[in-house]
Every structure is written in C-alpha cells, then in structure tokens.
Amino acid sequence: MNPRLAPLGRRGNLRPVTAKRTAQAAEDPFLESLMDTSLYSMGAYFSDEHPDLVSEVIAQSEAIERAGLRAYAQEHDMTLSACFETLLTGLAVRYYNAVAA
C-alpha cells in the first residue's frame, strides 16, 4: 500500500470542493443532484489533488472489495480504519468518474 493514501481518506482533512459541472449535467436535474453529494465531492477532491494516485487507490479499493475489510487489513498490516478509508476513497473516485463522465 502506498503510505500517501492512508491519511488522505480522513474526511476531516478534506476542504470543500466545487463540483465540476458539465453542460449536460446542468441540463439534467438528476445528474446535477448526483453531483451534490459528499461522495462526489470526496472523489473530486482526491482526483484533483492526487491524480497520480487515482489508479492505485481504485485498484486497492477493488482488492479490498474482493478480500473483505478484515482479511485485506490483516494481509497488508493495516488498521481496519485505514483499510475502510482506502475503500471509501476508491469508491468515491469511481463514483466521481462515473458521474462526471
């Protein structure tokens, strides 16, 4: 695991992010509503601030999904909390990518 990833999942350290609005989203109230979520903002923030880590955090979160939180944390000598934060960050980035595309 990249040591730079673990501290980034803490919500208390995230500054507010203005969601990037596309012209299509502005015309579709449903897409607009998907952009007004904490998960979207977290994914946008991580993607903007750490573009070099996006692929890695997605891969790690997918591995956590396959293995389960406890098993992945034990195998990679992580706390359960750090493992959950990595999972949530990866999910947020994937959510952001899907909605912003």
Flag whether 43 is in a domain: yes
Counting the structural domains of the chain, the total is 1
Flag whether 71 is in a domain: yes
Flag whether 1 is in a domain: no
Structural domain boundaries, residue 56: 23-100
pLDDT of 30 reads 82
Flag whether 18 is in a domain: no
Mean residue pLDDT of the chain comes to: 82
Flag whether 70 is in a domain: yes
Flag whether 11 is in a domain: no
**pTM (predicted TM-score):** 0.71
Flag whether 16 is in a domain: no
What pLDDT, in 10s, does the model give residues 49-73? 999 999 999 999 999 999 999 999 9
Flag whether 55 is in a domain: yes
DSSP-derived secondary structure for 12-65: GGPPP-PPPPPHHHHH-HHHHHHHSSHHHHHHHHHHHH-GGGHHHHHHHHHHHH
User: How far, in Å, CA of 101 to CA of 86, rounded?
Assistant: 22
